Homo-oligomer: A and B are copies of this chain.
Amino acid sequence: MAAWGARLAGVRGVLLDISGVLYDSGEGGGKPIAGSVDAVARLKRSGLKVRFCTNESQKSRSRLVGELRSLGFNIHEGEVTAPPPAACQLLKERGLRPHLLVHDEVRSEFDQVDTSDPNCVVIADAGEGFSYQNMNKAFQVLMGLDTPVLISLGQGRYYKVTSGLMLDVGGYMKALEYACGVEAEVVGKPSPEFFKSALQEMGVEACQEKIKRMKR
């Protein structure tokens, strides 16, 4: 513990991933990973700032947080950084009107965004929504644009649920990139902007020096 104490000296905040780190999602709300409920509680008691940073884009934040709370986690919606709000911000800043290929659960996160006459495509982990018909529609929208813009909420290869491994949005992003000859802009991890916005919301700054020291 002493070694860790020294390593963590000066650390002011902790960003925690959720899926595959705190819990494995799945039927019935998933299950916590051993020790994680207690670890979050101890971090919060320690006085460190704690924020949750996830690429989860199949569920609204309120549902995700509800599930985690029912599993015993001390977590609130305002503590979660997730791709949809970051994407909405980006869309507004650039005057983009998305065609949405997202899970029905998270569609409401885009309620304030103009989706008429689309001039870009936003994809997220749509799960069963990744039908051929829906993929083809997104493809056709992109091919109809003079300057195709593809925004992907995360680029995960797969994720784990209690019943096994599941294809994540990354493969579908690659499919559209290849078919349309475009390169997607990724909102979410591992984009540095995404981590920075999480830090900003937490009120701490990234410190390269600290990272170097921790690596030793």
Q: Interface of A with B (CB < 8 Å)? A: 126-133, 135-136, 139-140, 143, 157-158, 164-168, 170-172, 174-181
A158 touching B174 in the complex, CB below 8 Å, given contacts A132-B130, A179-B167: no
Tell which of B126, B128, B179 touches A170, judged by Cβ atoms closer than 8 Å. B179
Give the residues in chain B near A131, CB-CB below 8 Å. Answer: 128, 130-132
Bound Cα distance from A135 to B171, whole angstroms: 10
Bound-complex Cα distance A136 to B157 (A): 12
Inside 8 A of A170's CB, which chain B residues have their CB?
178-179
- Which of A127, A171, A176 has most chain B Cβ within 10 Å? A171
Q: By the criterion CB–CB under 8 Å, are A130 and B135 in contact?
A: yes
Q: Is the CB of A167 within 8 A of B135?
A: yes
* 20 extra A-B contacts, CB within 8 A, seeds A126-B132, A135-B167, A157-B178: A128-B131, A128-B133, A129-B132, A130-B135, A131-B132, A132-B167, A136-B166, A139-B158, A139-B167, A139-B171, A140-B164, A140-B165, A167-B175, A170-B179, A171-B174, A171-B175, A171-B178, A174-B174, A174-B175, A174-B178
Q: A158 to chain B: which residues have CB within 8 Å?
A: 139, 143, 179
24 CB-based A-B contacts, threshold 8 Å: A126-B132, A127-B132, A128-B132, A129-B132, A130-B135, A135-B167, A139-B158, A139-B165, A139-B167, A139-B171, A140-B164, A143-B158, A143-B165, A157-B178, A157-B181, A158-B179, A168-B179, A170-B179, A171-B174, A171-B175, A171-B176, A171-B178, A172-B175, A174-B178
